[in-house]
Amino acid sequence: LRDNRIELVRASWHELSISVSDVSLSDEGQYTCSLFTMPVKTSKAFLTVLGVPEKPQITGFTSPVMEGERMQLTCKTSGSKPAADIRWFKNDKEVKDVKYLKEEDANRKTFTVSSTMDFLADRNDDGAVVSCRVDHESLNSTPQIAMQVLEIHYTPLVKIISSNSWPEEGQTIILTCESKGKPVPEPVLWTKDGGELPDPERMVVNGRILSISFLNKTDNGTYRCEAKNPIGRNSTEYVLIVHDVFNTLLPTTVIPSLTTATVTTTVALTTSTTTSATAISARDPNALAGQTGPDHALIGGIVAVVVFVTLCSIILLGRYLARHKGTYLTNEAKGAEDAPDADTAIINAEGSQVNAEEKKEYFI
């Protein structure tokens, strides 16, 4: 062996050692050691030189990529012996559906290996890290890696978030329009039922937020939020329904559910009429817990009944008094209907005495 890269390390009667520096593929082959005795003794060994793969490169990527376009990324490495292995990863997750190709180099000793990953660009891949890893026995378990960060452009994704799931009259509702896209979408556009917002004083737009104060039934309708960027535009809708206000904040009162009215009339010649009404009220069992209020229909019915009973009592009392007065006058002059004058009537009256002339009453 005559080469400056080959150096004699040890020489003795029992051992002969050499070293080869800057090993190349041409150093591969069979080496023979001979002992010149009678007869000559030899020993042979075959030296295999590994081809270290070059650092891989990723090609086929153009930035940016529009959503929905097909992407073909190719990872290639040369000079490996034996052929290297290539694996693809996306955000540390291995991609299995790839194409693998192995070609022999011009020196017919090493190989060029390439692998292609084919997929459709998706908005979820924006910002993802794609890596190509080359494994080879010459790398001592330290693979060579090439990386590429994906940039995907896509139309805005729009969503409306409401601050109140059950809006009531008089309240305020805030609608937030979330729009995500690349490039970043322009300021959003708010509309109601296909037209402009009808009441700018109550319907205030601040960036992506629509605030509606003092809600009423005229605010019912479909609100649309639209966002756009250079790639395209997108929109979403929110249907607002304003509900009636529940009397949850009214003071607690007792609703009369059972009412009785008792009218008592006492008539005498020397006494006056007395009318009394007693109302017994209790909580309405059908009332909602925590929500009570006066029942105007029931109260009106009670008042009408009391008035009607009072009027009837007054009419009956008047007729009774008139009849009683006539009876009194009749008893006072009973038997004097046919008397020609007052004196005779007194004499003929029931219960008169013999000396009636001493007791006379004259009516003028």
Contact yes or no for 209/132 (Cβ under 8 A): no
The answer to whether 174 and 209 are in contact (CB under 8 A) is yes
Q: How far apart are alpha carbons 21 and 106 in whole angstroms? A: 25
- CB 76, CB 114: distance < 8 Å: yes
Query: Rounded to an integer, what distance in angstroms lies between the CA atom of residue 129 and that of residue 126?
Result: 9
Q: Per-domain residue ranges for the chain? A: 6-47, 57-150, 155-240
Domain 155-240 falls under CATH 2.60.40.10: yes
Task: Quote the pLDDT of residue 19.
Answer: 93
Q: Where are the alpha helices (DSSP H) in the chain?
A: 296-332, 342-348
Displacement of CA 213 from its chain's centroid (Å): 20
238 within 8 A of 223, measured Cβ to Cβ = yes
- pLDDT at residue 348, rounded to an integer: 60
Q: What is the pLDDT of residue 214?
A: 95
Beta strands 57-59; 93-95: pairing state: unpaired
Q: Are 90 and 68 a contacting pair, CB within 8 Å?
A: no
Closest CA to 272 of 235, 321, 329: 321
Both tokens of 238, joined, read 């929110």
Output the pLDDT for position 277: 32
Q: What's the pLDDT score for residue 37?
A: 82
Report residue 20 CA to chain centroid gap: 73
For the chain, how long is the longest CA-to-CA vector?
A: 204
User: Residue 334 has what pLDDT?
Assistant: 53
Helices (H), 9-91: none
The segments of the chain whose pLDDT lies below 70 read: 247-294, 323-364
Give me the count of residues in the chain: 364
* pLDDT score of 343: 63
> Distance between alpha carbon 84 and the CA centroid of its chain, in Å?
52
> In this predicted structure, what is the pLDDT of residue 94?
94
pLDDT, position 292: 47
What is the distance between the alpha carbons of residues 21 and 2, in angstroms, rounded to a whole number? 13
Q: Running DSSP on this structure, what letter comes out for residue 359?
A: S
3-class state of residue 162 by DSSP: strand
Assigned token pair, 227: 């966002």
Question: Does 57-150 match 155-240 in CATH topology?
Answer: yes
Measure the CA–CA gap between 148 and 125, rounded to whole angstroms: 12
Q: 57-150 in CATH: which number?
A: 2.60.40.10
pLDDT score for 250 = 45
Confidence (pLDDT) at 16 = 87
